[in-house]
Structure formats: structure tokens, C-alpha cells
Amino acid sequence: MTKGKRIRTLRIQHGFRQEQLARTIGVSKQTMYKYEFDIVTNIPSDKIEAIADALDVSPAYIMGWTRDADPNLLLQNHLSEPEGLYKYNCLDEHGQMVVDTVLSLEYERCSGHNALIHDADIQSNDNN
């Protein structure tokens, strides 16, 4: 789905007329039409943010970087800690070993990724 289609679909779901959303984000109705029908595809970032705010989604969803329209959806899809612990404790020894292994590997992968980003930020700041 394109940026324009996502914007149009969300606008309709929220009950906005094209003119209302355009006025809310500070553009003309014609510009909003061009956004929705992908005539203008390089939508300015401040307009993407304004559209996302008005339609209660993340800018990443508008851009197509995530399929989750709700910025809180990721949190809702995860197990709560008590539920996760309960399920973990119901596993046999092999199941717990598999979960522990995957958790350790994913933690290392994410920690390494975050460390690389942190190091890149430090290098960038040093160069300025």
C-alpha cells in the first residue's frame, strides 16, 4: 500500500473529509488530493508528522516502514511479564533451554546493534 493510500484509508476511517484534514495540517485541499493519490510522493516530514498526529498513527506507518498503524500495538502484542513467566514455567527442561538460548542470542544481537549505533553517534559528534 502506498503512502497516499494509507493516508486516504486512515482519513476515511477517522471520518475526516479531505478538506478537513488538509486544513488541520496546513495545506490546500488540492495538495491533500495529490498526497492521497501519490501525485506528490515526497511529502515534507513536518506534514507527515502532522498527518500522523491527526490520524493517530506513527509517522513510520504513514511512510510504510511498519505495518502497525497503532504505535502502541507492539506493546499490546507482547506477553505480559506474569503471563510470560507462567508459560515459561510450564515448559519442560528442553523448552526452557530453547527459550533461554533464543533470548540470549537476540539480546546479544540487539545489544550489539545498539552499541554500533551508539559508537556511530559518538564518531559523528567527534567529527563536528
Q: What pLDDT, on the 0 to 100 scale, is given for residue 29?
A: 96
Q: What pLDDT, on the 0 to 100 scale, is given for residue 77?
A: 47
3-71 CATH: 1.10.260.40
Which three cell numbers, joined as nine digits, stand for 14?
Answer: 477517522
Cα gap 1→42, rounded to integer Å: 16
Cα gap 128→95, rounded to integer Å: 50
Q: What pLDDT, on the 0 to 100 scale, is given for residue 68?
A: 66
Q: What pLDDT, on the 0 to 100 scale, is given for residue 76?
A: 47
Which three cell numbers, joined as nine digits, stand for 37?
Answer: 493519490
Q: Radius of gyration (Cα) for the chain, nearest Å?
A: 21
Cα gap 19→7, rounded to integer Å: 13
Per-residue pLDDT tens, the chain, 128 aa: give them.
Answer: 899 999 999 999 999 999 999 999 999 999 999 999 999 989 999 999 999 999 988 898 899 887 766 555 444 445 566 777 778 888 899 989 998 898 888 878 877 755 555 454 555 555 55
Q: What pLDDT, on the 0 to 100 scale, is given for residue 123?
A: 54
Q: What pLDDT, on the 0 to 100 scale, is given for residue 107?
A: 78
Q: What pLDDT, on the 0 to 100 scale, is given for residue 58?
A: 87
Q: What pLDDT, on the 0 to 100 scale, is given for residue 74?
A: 41
Position 87: which residue type?
K
pTM, two decimal places: 0.55
Q: What pLDDT, on the 0 to 100 scale, is given for residue 75?
A: 44
Q: What pLDDT, on the 0 to 100 scale, is given for residue 66?
A: 78
